[in-house]
Amino acid sequence: MLLIEAILYDLDMSIKDFDQIYKESPSRMYKIKVADRSKFTITEDESRLTNPLDLQAEIDHAIQKVQDGKAFVRPSGTEDILRLYCEAKDLEQMTSMSEELIEAIETDYKNI
């Protein structure tokens, strides 16, 4: 705590200024059952799909539709499920994006 206080003093920031730096956005993790999780591969940092690329393109498109959006999928290490993470500026946008992506996965990618 003393280190934080020293840094704030050096930056001429108050506790209130420090509190305003971070604002939490609504987010949620979903589980979607798929036929074979091994068909979904990701980058080393687990932030993007490398296969199927069409699904990654759909995720990128959905992110662009919302403000401060983030989304990614990754296969479970133990079950035939995908874990979908969605985040956006407000709950309505986050819900809209997640519903769009869940529908796309269940319609086009569930049985690959």
Residue 1 has pLDDT above 90, yes or no: no
Question: Could you tell me if residue 11 is left (phi over 0), alpha (psi between -120 and 50 degrees) or otherwise beta?
Answer: alpha
What pLDDT, on the 0 to 100 scale, is given for residue 37? 95
pLDDT surpassing 90 at residue 23: no
Q: What are phi and psi of 52, to 5 degrees?
A: -80, 135
Q: What is the pTM of this model?
A: 0.82
**What are the extents of the domains in the chain?**
25-109
pLDDT of residue 22: 83
Quick: pLDDT tens for 43-102.
999 999 999 999 999 999 999 999 999 999 999 999 999 999 999 999 999 999 999 999
d(CA 51, CA 54): 8
Decide which of 55 and 22 is more confident.
Answer: 55
Under CATH, which number does the domain 25-109 receive? 3.30.310.50
What average pLDDT does the segment 4-10 reach? 93
Which DSSP string do the residues of 82-106 spell out, in sequence order? EEEEEE-SSHHHHHHHHHHHHHHII
Alpha-carbon torsion (37, 61, 66, 106), positive or negative: negative
